[in-house]
Chains A and B, each alone.
Chain A
Amino acid sequence: GPKVLQIPSHQIIDMGQMVTLNCDPVSNHLYFYWYKQILGQQMEFLVNFYNGKVMEKSKLFKDQFSVERPDGSYFTLKIQPTALEDSAVYFCASSTDWGSYEQYFGPGTRLTVL
């Protein structure tokens, strides 16, 4: 079936550095999402994105976070600067529409901030 890819699968960086997490969504999807899962906790919604704009974000989506999808390329989550509490697995998802439409999830990027 359709697959969402995430690159890299693991990333280790020093606190204060910038990191970009890349997501290759399903090709005909228009709605994109990032979720964050701290070890042992729930996966939590960060942000969704449609038509070049953030539509909704949670309180976890700090000012240091940004998302974009330049035409035809990856949907990215950038964190600048990173903090220790940003260590988590970040899941990207995409869908054809909102609501009950299936969100297809990538395998996640494990980010470790030292």
Chain B
Amino acid sequence: GEQVEQRPPHLSVREGDSAVIICTYTDPNSYYFFWYKQEPGAGLQLLMKVFSSTEINEGQGFTVLLNKKDKQLSLNLTAAHPGDSAVYFCAALSDSGTYQRFGTGTKLQVVP
């Protein structure tokens, strides 16, 4: 079946450095994507929704890039701070549009 791969599984960066998380999806028909942040004991918090027509998406302190040719979606935190420490998940909307396929998650640690 269709898959979403995410890397790296763990990432440690210093405060102020950038952090990049990459997801690769297999379904060429994927057209809607999501990035989530999960803090300990909390539900997934939506960071951004990405429609396939937009390759560069700016958020607060991060950028999401969509490379349809390589079927890759990346989350780039530009200047990480300790509050960014969490597990990050990407997801792709299913063909049916009725559920999401998730990546395996990336545990990000930002060290002061």
Dominant secondary structure of chain A at its interface with chain B: loop
Number of interface residues of B (CB under 8 A): 23
Residues on A close to B: CB < 8 A?
3-4, 9, 33, 35, 40-45, 48, 55-56, 58, 91, 98-100, 102-108
Give B71-112 interface residues, CB cut-off 8 Å to A. 89, 93-94, 96-105
Residues on B close to A: CB < 8 A?
4, 32, 36, 41-44, 46, 49, 51, 89, 93-94, 96-105
In the complex, what's the smallest C-beta–C-beta distance from B109 to chain A, in angstroms?
Answer: 17
In the complex, what's the smallest C-beta–C-beta distance from A85 to chain B, in angstroms?
Answer: 19
In the complex, what's the smallest C-beta–C-beta distance from A26 to chain B, in angstroms?
Answer: 11
A sample of 21 inter-chain contacts (CB < 8 A) reads A3-B43, A4-B43, A41-B104, A42-B103, A43-B89, A43-B102, A45-B99, A45-B101, A55-B98, A56-B96, A56-B99, A58-B99, A98-B97, A99-B32, A99-B98, A100-B49, A103-B100, A105-B36, A105-B44, A107-B41, A108-B43
Pairwise interchain contact B43-A42, C-beta atoms closer than 8 A: no
Could you say which residues of chain B place their CB within 8 Å of the CB of A104? 43
